[in-house]
């Protein structure tokens, strides 16, 4: 069974982005995962391979809309501030930077995170 070309193109985009975006202890990586059911984000330190902060639309009790993405971004920014994280690197994970992904990033910036 062969893989669809849409899936292969998405994987290539993901690999291309991850080759340029690398999180560290002083600037961890904000990784976004968007599914049909929920939107989840993690702040990851790639040098140790550990998740520092995580948030999801289920945790924020937010619908899977642009307003829900704003709530998730604000929740993540609050948790990151509590963990004393202010500067991050944004990993959009092969998703286009518009709609829910853009709303999440803007809400995280308004919450005090610097990209």
Could you give the number of structural domains in the chain?
A: 1
pLDDT tens-digit profile of 34-65?
999 999 999 999 889 999 999 999 999 999 99
pLDDT tens-digit profile of 60-102?
999 999 999 999 999 999 999 999 999 999 999 889 999 999 9
Is residue 52 in some structural domain? yes
> How far apart, in whole angstroms, are the C-alpha atoms of residue 77 and residue 65?
18
What CATH number is associated with residue 9?
3.30.420.100
Is residue 25 in some structural domain? yes
Domain extent, residue 67, equals 5-110
Q: Which of 1-5, 11-15, 104-108 has the highest mean pLDDT?
A: 104-108
Is residue 115 in some structural domain? no
Which 3-state string (H, E, C) describes 16-72?
A: HHHHHCCCCCCCCEEEEEECCCCEEEEEEECCCCEEEEEEECCCCCCCCCHHHHHHH
Closest among 36, 54, 26, 10 to 18, alpha carbons compared = 10
Confidence of residue 21 (pLDDT cuts 50, 70, 90): confident
Confidence of residue 23 (pLDDT cuts 50, 70, 90): confident
Q: Hey, what are 23's tokens? A: 């999180």
């Amino acid at each position: 069974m062969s893989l669809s070309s849409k899936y292969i193109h998405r994987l290539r985009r993901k690999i291309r982005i991850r080759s340029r975006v690398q999180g560290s202890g002083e600037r961890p990586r904000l990784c976004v995962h968007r599914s049909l059911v929920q939107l989840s984000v993690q702040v990851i330190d790639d040098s140790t391979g550990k998740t520092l902060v995580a948030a999801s639309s289920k945790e924020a009790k937010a619908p899977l809309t642009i307003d829900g993405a704003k709530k998730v971004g604000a929740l993540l920014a609050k948790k990151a501030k509590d963990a004393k994280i202010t500067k991050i690197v944004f990993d959009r994970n092969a998703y286009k930077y518009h709609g829910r992904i853009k709303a999440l990033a803007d809400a995280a910036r308004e919450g005090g995170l610097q990209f």
